[in-house]
Amino acid sequence: MLNSQRIFVEAISKYGAEHGIAVEIRAAGWLIVMQRGGTRHLAFGYDLGLNSAVAHRIANDKSATADVLTMSGVPCVPHALFLDPELNAYVPTQGSWQAMLTLLSQNPAGIAVKPNEGTSGKSVFLVSSAPGLELAVNRIFASHASLAISPYLEIEEEVRVVLLDDIPLLVYSKKRPSVIGDGKRSLLELALATLPADQRSAVLPEMFAELDRNALDAVVPEGARRVLNWRHNLESGARPLLLEHGEARDACVALAVRAAQAIGIRFASIDIVRVEGGWQVLEINSGVMTEALSKLHPELVHAAYRAALDKVFA
């Protein structure tokens, strides 16, 4: 999808037409200039400019976010920061490798190794061995200056809360693609038979990258459920599902508000995960990306961006 075709660009263009605001799309849709009279506002990526520079930088840094939330008493998934050895002037004298191995040994279920900055679940690795850790670290440092390591958690549910000045605009869960066994077909056969066509390009490459041939060919017992991706990322095939009003939604919104207040962010999407029955913050995104949800509920997405733009032009 071209940047200029994003729902974010469409929503801003529509808002401009309705409110007498000139909208100019630059940099292939990545930079948007909004002008009304002598007032000009800029949007970049998925950022409307409502957040301070510090809040934006902290939200974009997984380790910094976890540090601030922990200091503020907000339950969150810990993320340990490691810098590329090329930045040797800033790396501890004892280096980082032993500390990484220690984290691996402390988490027998595995660790998640990911770029410290960035979204969409790109270059995120589930690691359970020293060779796997070395491979993940080398791949990430090939294109990123830092990485973060968090414990692998058996996430029961992941919920995204889009907040604007502590008011929830969108609340939805991310449902990972899965299959139910029939005692006859393999995991791969079930995936090919049941995955909708529009999900295959996102789900199948992840399956082939993460599972060996034996796992793909193994027959799934009748009635057994198998998730096809350990990640909850929408870009990896998870489906957004609006969360009904109730105890779970209230808990997620309350925790998201605490997290937003802790780092001083106004407009953000906050990912909350349920682990062993308790909720904790996974990460905060200062750019509000809603492409997957917009395919199912475009009117809600337009309303969310409209509310944020009202704040921009207030």
Location of structure tokens 């409307």: 48
Predicted confidence (pLDDT) per residue in 150-181, tens digit: 999 988 899 999 999 999 999 999 887 778 89
The CATH homologous superfamily for domain 47-77+153-176+230-314 is: ATP-grasp fold, B domain (3.30.470.20)
**Is 0.85 surpassed by the pTM of this model?**
yes
The pLDDT of residue 81: 95
Q: Which fold has domain 78-152?
A: Dna Ligase; domain 1 (3.30.1490)
H/E run at residue 225? strand 225-227
Q: Which residue did the predictor score with more confidence, 120 or 254?
A: 254
> What sign does the CA torsion over 41, 269, 201, 123 have?
positive
Query: What DSSP assignment string belongs to 134-184?
Result: HHHHHHHHTT-SEEEEEE----SEEEEEEEETTEEEEEEEEEPPEEE--SS
The pLDDT tens digits of the residues spanning 231-248 come to 656 666 678 999 999 999
pLDDT surpassing 80 at residue 132: yes
Residue 73, burial from CB neighbour count under 10 angstroms (0-12, 13-18, 19+): exposed
The DSSP code sequence of 10-58 is HHHHHHHHHHT-EEEEEGGGTEEEEEETTEEEEEETTB-S-S-HHHHHH
For CATH 3.30.470.20, the residue range(s) in the chain are 47-77+153-176+230-314
Rounded to 5 degrees, what are φ and ψ at 66? Answer: -60, -40
- State percent of the chain over pLDDT 70: 94
Residue 285: per-residue pLDDT: 95
Q: Which residue has the higher pLDDT, 63 or 88?
A: 63
When the pLDDT of each residue in the chain is averaged and rounded to a whole number, the result is 90
pLDDT band at 294 (very low <50, low <70, confident <90, very high): very high
pLDDT at site 235 = 66
Region(s) of the chain under CATH 3.30.1490.20: 78-152
When pLDDT is cut at 50, 70 and 90, the band that residue 1 belongs to is: low
Distance, in Å, from the CA atom of 90 to the CA atom of 83, rounded to the nearest integer, reads: 8
